[in-house]
Structure formats: structure tokens, C-alpha cells
Structure 1
């Protein structure tokens, strides 16, 4: 009996990786819609001081909306977790790409499309939650026009070898209204309208950009967390 127990213990001993991991830092989650303690607040409903081009946008009742031009953060980011809330116009005007159109750009050139895609048909890789001209959303998770929606985006910037060749493509995960719509997608490059995607080896870091596409889309509660690999 003792032999059997000893043998069983030998087979069930704890496995350890052998890596001497540092202790993870403490991050306090925000209460309700508040950001976590280590987040950089990009828009708190009061000021667009963190953005360039803000003179063409209006801040009112806790939200920001475009009247002229795009806005881009003064600070540049690489790998990140981004939270942003938006609402397309309650009064429905136009259709397809002309209805509640805007966009959220990572590194200034990788676009997650913003569009009123509630009962509004357009090309699938151009609808809300899509990576523009590259991949439709997994599902259409849009709320009705005028209702507040959210994106939670995990983005990893591309990496390049010293000779400029692509080492690792950019990847993106997107939850829209807490529903997964992009699942660790490897991007083909940037997201232009007029040509095929391509990578620029000089772009491994850049601003968050919000697009003015001529529609009064509202934005609020924007914050970001910079991500990095664990330190061993």
C-alpha cells in the first residue's frame, strides 16, 4: 500500500516551468464605465487637449463630434488596448457608406470602420466592426441609430527586420458592444480606399485617429492602455 501511494505521488507532483516570473503589477479596474487605473484618458467628455485638429470638432454634453477634418492623438502608441464609445446619428439620412460613417485608426492607418449598419446594407468589409476593405465583422452587433455603442480593441503593431522586411504582421481583436467581431486578425497592411493594403516599415507606432467622413458621429469615454511583453 505504501509503495502504491508513493508511486501515485511521484506521478502527480506539481510541474513548474522553471521561469522566474516577476510579480504582475496591480491594476485597479474602473467602477462602471470608468477606465482602469493604468489607462491614459484620451477624452473624458470635457476636453480634446490630447488631440491634434480638435478646433474642427465640437465638445458638447460629454461627447465630441466632427465639423471639420480628422483628429489624431498628440501621443503615439504601438501595442495597445483601446476603449471608445460612439453613436451614429439618431436621424437616419442616406444609406450604405453615407450613413453614420467614421472610423477608428490604430497607428494612424489601420481602420476599424464606424458605420450605421443597423438594417443598412453595404459591402461587407466596409460595415461597422469591419477592418476596412480587408475583413467583414464576424457578426453584425450594431445597436439602433442614436444608441451608444462601444469598441474594445486589442492591437499589436507590425514588426520589421532591419532590412525593412515584415517580421510580424499587425494583429487586431475587436469587441463591439461586448461581442467579438474580429478575432486576432492578421492585417494585410494599411486600409486605404484607393489601392491594395501594404506595410510601411517606418510605421510601428502612431496616433489614434478619428475620421470625419461628413457625418455627425458622436464619441465619448476614450481611453487606452499601452501593452508590452512580460519582462523575464
Structure 2
């Protein structure tokens, strides 16, 4: 399944050119990751980065690449990063190639919460693709909060199908009714990103 290979006219490009002017570090300082050659690379030790802009409901297209496998690396040390929707809900990035029964901390998982339906991972150094439809939490007429929901497609395979999600460890905040940024996690591995774009689904 390939929802869309190229961004539509109304897409917000997440990184282009030579500058990260639309991204910040968690502390509000300029983002210190590397942007060159058309892709963005995590700078180990530089911390997470997040968009200046906040979002509600959206479609996200993002490609990523885990670094070359380090023989002695195990588990969460293998190409670890993550995509935090609204800065609250992490979709895990990890070198999970070859994992037979993916768990809640493998690539594609809603981190520490819901395992992917299948392991769609490619080997380290191969470019991979996430496509996500995110529906933010909202308050119902009875005053109860309806949780956020997400559908995730990883390398053309549906790994989460409109599931409800709650904030994951490392979230920016718990203010689920507020718009929030897209956040990319720094977890010590030089994971690379390219062709990131987002389309708002709320008028």
C-alpha cells in the first residue's frame, strides 16, 4: 500500500534546504541536528527536536534509515529513535530487522503500549517509510475525553489500524486536547530522515 509518493500542494514540508529554521530543541534553542544532502541526521547527544508549528489531525509521510548495524549492539541500542505525534505519542524507530515476534519496544510499536501487527522492518542502512493518519484526542458532548487514534503503514504494510493511543514515556506533556508539535527523538544513534511532510486534516 502506497498512499502517496509525493507531497500534495497543501503539504507542509518538514525539512528542506540547508537550514532547520522550523525546528527547535526541547529547551527552545535552535535544533543542532545535521541537515545536508537532502536528509536530516540525528546528532547523538544533541537532544530531541520538535517543530515550531503545532498540529491537531494530520497525515504524515516520513522516511528514515537506521545506521549500519554494530555487532555488539543489542535491543534498544540498535538504531534507536522515534516519532512523537503532537510530542506525546511515540511511534518507535529501531533496527528490528529479523525480529520474529515484535513487541511494544520494536520498530513500529506505539512505544511501551501496542506492538505492530507485523514486523515490516528492512535491514539497517535501507530507507524505510512511515505513513500515518493521526486523529487527536477531543472532548465529547458528555464531557469525557475521547483518546487519540492512529493508523500506521510501515513500508506498505498496515501495522496499526485506527487504534486508540495514550501518551507514551518521554512525552512533552499530557495536555492531550491541545495541538502539539511533531518531535523526533535523539536516543544516541545517528538515524537519518528524509522526505518528511505533513498534511493537516482539520480545517
TM-score w.r.t. length of structure 2: 0.86
RMSD of equivalent CA atoms: 2.5
Deviation by residue 1:50-70 (Cα, 9 ceiling, x = unmatched): 111254201122111122111
* Residue in structure 2 matched with residue 115 of structure 1 by the alignment: 94
The answer on 1:64 being equivalent to 2:23 is no
Match among 123, 145, 149 for residue 171 of structure 1 = 149
Match among 188, 192, 195 for residue 214 of structure 1 = 188
Deviation at 1:127, TM superposition (A): 0.5
Deviation at 1:120, TM superposition (A): 4.9
Match among 56, 68, 84 for residue 78 of structure 1 = 56
CA distance in 2, matches of 1:95, 1:160: 42
Say whether the 8 Å CA contact 1:92–1:145 is kept in structure 2.
no
The answer on 1:127 being equivalent to 2:123 is no
If you compute each CA radius of gyration, which structure gives the higher value, 1 or 2?
Answer: 1
Say whether the 8 Å CA contact 1:79–1:157 is kept in structure 2.
yes
Change (3 A) 1:104 1:45: farther
Match among 39, 44, 51 for residue 16 of structure 2 = 44
Runs of 4+ with >3 A deviation: 120-123, 199-203
Deviation at 1:34, TM superposition (A): 2.9
Alignment of 1:98-113 (within 5 A): 98-113=77-92
CA distance in 2, matches of 1:205, 1:226: 12
Change (3 A) 1:102 1:143: same
Q: Specify which structure has the bigger relative contact order, considering alpha-carbon pairs within 8 angstroms and separated by 6 or more residues.
A: 2
Say whether the 8 Å CA contact 2:139–2:177 is kept in structure 1.
no
Say whether the 8 Å CA contact 1:156–1:172 is kept in structure 2.
yes
Gaps of 5+ in 2: none
TM-score w.r.t. length of structure 1: 0.76
Alignment of 1:87-98 (within 5 A): 87-93=65-71, 94-98=73-77
Deviation at 1:45, TM superposition (A): 5.7
Q: How many equivalent pairs are there? A: 193
CA distance in 2, matches of 1:65, 1:201: 29
Say whether the 8 Å CA contact 2:131–2:153 is kept in structure 1.
yes
| Higher share of residues assigned helix | 1
Deviation at 1:192, TM superposition (A): 1.0
Deviation at 1:98, TM superposition (A): 0.7
Deviation by residue 1:59-102 (Cα, 9 ceiling, x = unmatched): 12211112211110000001000111000002435111110000
Change (3 A) 1:174 1:40: same
Change (3 A) 1:77 1:123: same
Gaps of 5+ in 1: 1-28
Deviation at 1:204, TM superposition (A): 2.8
